[in-house]
C-alpha cells in the first residue's frame, strides 16, 4: 500500500489508485482521477504546472492513501485520520475497482463527502 504523508494539505483521502493500477485498471482513467483529487484537495488555486509536477511524481507510485498533515495536529487527530483512511482501504478491498472508481467520481463531483 502506497501511503503519502504531506504537509501541503489538511484533508486526507483513500483513492486507492496504486492498488487499482496494480490490478490492471486503466492508467488514463486513474490519471484523470488523480488530477481531480489534486484539484479538490490540494491545489484548488495553484498553477496547473504545479499539479502536472505532482501527477508526474505520483505516477511513479500512485497513492492508495494520502494523509494531509498541514497545521498542528494532535496525536489523537493523526491516529483517528489513519484509522479512518484505513477503513476506506478495507472497503476498497471488499468492493473492488468498479465500485471504487464510481466512489471517487462521486466524491470529486460533490467536493468531498459529509
Please give the mean pLDDT across all residues of the chain.
81
The closest alpha carbon to 84, from 18, 8, 12, belongs to 12
Separation of alpha carbons 76 and 24, rounded Å: 36
Per-residue pLDDT tens over the stretch 61-110: 788 998 988 888 899 999 999 999 999 999 999 999 999 988 888 887 88
| Res 74: pLDDT | 92
State the residue for C-alpha cell 479538490: 40
What is the DSSP-derived secondary structure letter of residue 111? T
6 vs 46, residue with greater confidence: 6
Is the pLDDT confidence value at 34 over 60? yes
Confidence of residue 58 (pLDDT cuts 50, 70, 90): low
Separation of alpha carbons 83 and 1, rounded Å: 14
Compute the average pLDDT of residues 30-56. Answer: 65
Cα 86–90–96 angle (5° rounding)?
Answer: 135
pTM of the model: 0.74
Amino acid at each position: 500500500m502506497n501511503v503519502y504523508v504531506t504537509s501541503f494539505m489538511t484533508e486526507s483521502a483513500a483513492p486507492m489508485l496504486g492498488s487499482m493500477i496494480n490490478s490492471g485498471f486503466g492508467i488514463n482513467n486513474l490519471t484523470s482521477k488523480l488530477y481531480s483529487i489534486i484539484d479538490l484537495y490540494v491545489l484548488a488555486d495553484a498553477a496547473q504546472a504545479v499539479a502536472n509536477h505532482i501527477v508526474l511524481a505520483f505516477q511513479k507510485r500512485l497513492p492508495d492513501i494520502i494523509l494531509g498533515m498541514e497545521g498542528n495536529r494532535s496525536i489523537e487527530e493523526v491516529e483517528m485520520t489513519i484509522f479512518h483512511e484505513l477503513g476506506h482501504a478495507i472497503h476498497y478491498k471488499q468492493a473492488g475497482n468498479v465500485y471504487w472508481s464510481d466512489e471517487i467520481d462521486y466524491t470529486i463531483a460533490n467536493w468531498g463527502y459529509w
